[in-house]
Amino acid sequence: KNQVEQSPQSLIILEGKNCTLQCNYTVSPFSNLRWYKQDTGRGPVSLTIMTFSENTKSNGRYTATLDADTKQSSLHITASQLSDSASYICVVSEGSNDYKLSFGAGTTVTVRA
């Protein structure tokens, strides 16, 4: 069973609107949580990294939140643009093994004009 679950699987939003993606994880012990953006046919690009002591981090129009107690994270996209169309992947790092990363299946976001 995957230790990182993302929802929704996909969503369509209109340009200029906001959206929120969810990530629930069971990885333990937890080291850090990352959100990546992956354009079709490209490698993932890091958006944010949060340790257990951080509960929010922003990167431009992207804001990630983390609740380490409930093991939930969200990625909020503000004022979406057509270029935001991509897959957004939640990645959780286990304990002290930073190379032991668990990836979610991703949420595919489609922004329409």
Partner 1 sequence: DAGVTQSPTHLIKTRGQQVTLRCSPKSGHDTVSWYQQALGQGPQFIFQYYEEEERQRGNFPDRFSGHQFPNYSSELNVNALLLGDSALYLCASSWTGAETQYFGPGTRLLVL
Q: Which residues here bind partner 1, judged by CB under 8 A?
A: 4, 32, 34, 36, 41-46, 49, 89, 91, 97-101, 103-106
Decide whether 23 or 111 has the Cβ nearer to partner 1. 23
Decide whether 9 or 113 has the Cβ nearer to partner 1. 9
Minimal CA–CA distance to 109: which of 12, 8, 2? 12
CA-to-CA separations, 111 to 17, 24, 26, 79, 96, in angstroms, rounded: 9, 24, 30, 10, 37
Decide whether 35 or 65 has the Cβ nearer to partner 1. 35
Q: How far is the CB of 113 from partner 1 (least distance, A)?
A: 25
Minimal CA–CA distance to 21: which of 86, 93, 69, 83? 86
* Contact criterion met (CB below 8 Å) for 93 and 34: yes
Structure tokens that stand for 52 in this block: 């257990």
Q: How far is the CB of 16 from partner 1 (least distance, A)?
A: 28
Q: How far is the CB of 6 from partner 1 (least distance, A)?
A: 8
Decide whether 34 or 71 has the Cβ nearer to partner 1. 34
Q: What is the largest CA-CA distance in the chain?
A: 44
Q: How far is the CB of 104 from partner 1 (least distance, A)?
A: 5
